[in-house]
């Protein structure tokens, strides 16, 4: 049981170190009041659930399971609706069914959800028509609208992030345990725009096979409880450290610290400085931790991260999420995996094929090509196959809606279509049929492995 203990000093040791990508809050007293209030709020997740996910991630690290981690680039307060949450969940459930059935592997399902409200940015400001304002840093910090009022960081938004995360998690828990995620609903998850796409039809055929298998088991008198609910976890980037440390609590069972804002948190490519505040914060908490590794990561960086975050070499504690870019992964990943494996560490290796493959279309839309995404995943599988190590999973930006943000896919989106439904607040996401396409192709790669 996690208690609402007084904030522990260990949660705040990061304050003595440089913290990248933190907002310029204009009123530090208002921030202090918000932090004090957040510290009094109940946990969003329980420490025991974080331990359970660490065990699931240990199976991934040992090569016995596959991680499916996905969701929005940036969640938005005004998108906290039953429909949006259900669509995202539906996409992940469909992808999970495809990977489990076609890839024949247990799938650990983790959403980029219920906390993914903060974004690191390349530039601190944005200029439009000669007007320069602070960049949008996610709904937890400021507003998307290009006005001085909206773009001014407001700490009250941290409380809104907590409440939005809480409402989302509540519905996710209801969907995943209350009947909606029952494997007998495998057809129902396909009942909308996606049904007629090539991947939707392929999915329908797979769902029929699953149905037949379930009927067979039923006829044999077997009706496992495990098929009625889905184990689903929430994750986000631990970016705004004032929020994350305010939600860090002492677990009364063990005396350890847990960041109870989500089950798993990750440190991004822009904030993984070895002597920086984010790594210090992550080193203090017992949650399973992810770290993004971009193309400039050296083996020494990876080994130091292991030393800092997983000194006991505990499988499941640390996940390296590589995001090299399709053109670099075959060149950069092998040495990292080799050196880490030789050190005796058992990290989970996961591929984020999104963040190294972004480009700006002539129309000004930030986009990604489905083929590049696929090629990065292929490269990831090739490297692991070559080294005899386990390709542990994928980390994807996706939505359950019929958006037009990434080009390509079986139900092809063209560059000229991008403007039609370009709805992301930050980076382009795969829509549901592109996500299903990816799941089928990854399942094939896994089987061939």
Ligand X SMILES: O=C[C@H](O)[C@H](O)COP(=O)(O)O
Residues that bind ligand X (CB under 6 A): 73, 119-122, 426-427
> What is the phi/psi pair of residue 247, to 5°?
-100, 20
Name the DSSP class of 402. Answer: -
Q: Report in angstroms how near the CB of residue 278 gets to ligand PEP at its nearest.
A: 11
Return the number of the residue (59 or 235) whose C-beta is nearest ligand X. Answer: 235
Q: Determine how β-strand 264-267 pairs with β-strand 289-293.
A: parallel
Contacting residues toward ligand PEP, per CB under 6 A: 73, 120, 237, 268-270, 292, 323, 352, 355
Residues ≥6 apart with Cβ < 8 Å to 191: none
Residue 237 interaction partner, one of ligand X, ligand PEP, none, beta carbon < 5-8 Å per kind: ligand PEP
Residue 93 interaction partner, one of ligand X, ligand PEP, none, beta carbon < 5-8 Å per kind: none
Return the number of the residue (396 or 426) whose C-beta is nearest ligand X. Answer: 426
Handedness of CA 301, 235, 193, 215 (dihedral sign): positive
Q: Report in angstroms how near the CB of residue 21 gets to ligand X at its nearest.
A: 9
Distances (CA, A) of 380 to 44, 91, 116: 34, 23, 25
- Is the distance from CB of 277 to CB of 19 less than 8 angstroms? yes
Return the number of the residue (120 or 143) whose C-beta is nearest ligand PEP. Answer: 120
Q: Report in angstroms how near the CB of residue 271 gets to ligand PEP at its nearest.
A: 8
Return the number of the residue (353 or 391) whose C-beta is nearest ligand PEP. Answer: 353
> What is the phi/psi pair of residue 81, to 5°?
-135, 160
Strand (E) or helix (H) holding 89? helix 82-103
Residue 323 interaction partner, one of ligand X, ligand PEP, none, beta carbon < 5-8 Å per kind: ligand PEP
Q: Report in angstroms how near the CB of residue 194 gets to ligand PEP at its nearest.
A: 24
Residue 121 interaction partner, one of ligand PEP, ligand X, none, beta carbon < 5-8 Å per kind: ligand X
Distance CA 163, CA 170 (A): 10
Q: Which residue is nearest to ligand X (CB)?
A: 122
Q: Report in angstroms how near the CB of residue 390 gets to ligand PEP at its nearest.
A: 21
Return the number of the residue (375 or 427) whose C-beta is nearest ligand X. Answer: 427
Q: Report in angstroms how near the CB of residue 269 gets to ligand PEP at its nearest.
A: 4
The end-to-end CA distance of the chain, in Å, is 40
Residue 292 interaction partner, one of ligand PEP, ligand X, none, beta carbon < 5-8 Å per kind: ligand PEP
Residue 269 interaction partner, one of ligand X, ligand PEP, none, beta carbon < 5-8 Å per kind: ligand PEP
Distances (CA, A) of 400 to 72, 255, 270, 311: 9, 39, 27, 38
Residues ≥6 apart with Cβ < 8 Å to 212: none
């Amino acid at each position: 049981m996690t208690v609402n203990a007084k904030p522990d000093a260990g949660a705040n040791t990061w304050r003595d170190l440089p913290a990248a990508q933190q907002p310029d809050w204009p009123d530090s007293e208002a921030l202090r009041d918000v932090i004090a209030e957040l510290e009094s709020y109940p946990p969003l997740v329980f420490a025991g659930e974080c331990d359970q996910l660490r065990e699931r991630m240990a199976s991934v690290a040992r090569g016995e399971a596959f991680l499916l981690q996905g969701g929005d680039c940036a969640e938005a307060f005004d998108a906290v609706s039953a429909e949006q949450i259900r669509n995202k969940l539906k996409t992940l459930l469909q992808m999970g069914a495809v990977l489990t059935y076609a890839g024949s592997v247990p799938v650990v399902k983790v959403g980029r959800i219920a906390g993914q409200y903060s974004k690191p940015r390349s530039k601190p400001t944005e200029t439009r028509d000669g007007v320069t304002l602070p960049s949008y840093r996610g709904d937890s910090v400021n507003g998307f609208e290009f006005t001085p009022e909206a773009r001014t960081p407001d700490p009250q938004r941290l409380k809104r992030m907590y409440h939005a995360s809480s409402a989302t998690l509540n519905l996710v828990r209801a969907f995943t345990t209350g009947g909606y995620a029952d494997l007998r609903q495998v057809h129902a998850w396909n009942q909308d725009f996606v049904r007629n796409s090539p991947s939707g039809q392929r999915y329908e055929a797979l769902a029929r096979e699953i149905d037949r298998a379930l009927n067979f088991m039923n006829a044999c008198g077997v009706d496992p409880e495990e098929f009625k609910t889905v184990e689903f976890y929430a994750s986000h980037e631990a970016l705004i450290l004032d929020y994350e440390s305010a939600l860090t609590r002492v677990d009364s069972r063990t005396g350890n610290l847990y960041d109870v804002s989500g089950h798993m948190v990750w440190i991004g490519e822009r904030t993984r400085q070895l002597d920086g505040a984010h790594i210090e914060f992550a080193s203090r908490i017992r949650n399973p931790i992810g770290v993004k590794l971009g193309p400039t990561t050296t083996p020494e960086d990876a080994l130091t991260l292991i030393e800092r975050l997983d000194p006991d070499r505990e499988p499941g504690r640390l996940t390296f999420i590589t995001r090299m870019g399709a053109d670099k992964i075959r060149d950069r990943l092998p040495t990292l995996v080799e050196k880490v494996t030789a050190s005796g560490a058992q990290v989970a290796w996961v591929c984020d094929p999104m963040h190294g493959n972004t480009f700006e279309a002539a129309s000004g839309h930030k986009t990604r090509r489905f083929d590049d995404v696929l090629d990065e995943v292929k490269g990831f599988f090739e490297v692991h196959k070559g080294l005899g190590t386990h390709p542990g999973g994928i980390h994807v930006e996706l939505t359950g809606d019929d958006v037009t943000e990434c080009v390509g896919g079986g139900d092809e989106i063209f560059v000229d279509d991008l403007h039609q439904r370009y709805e992301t607040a930050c980076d382009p996401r795969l829509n549901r049929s592109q996500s299903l396409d990816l799941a089928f192709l990854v399942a094939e790669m896994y089987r061939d492995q």
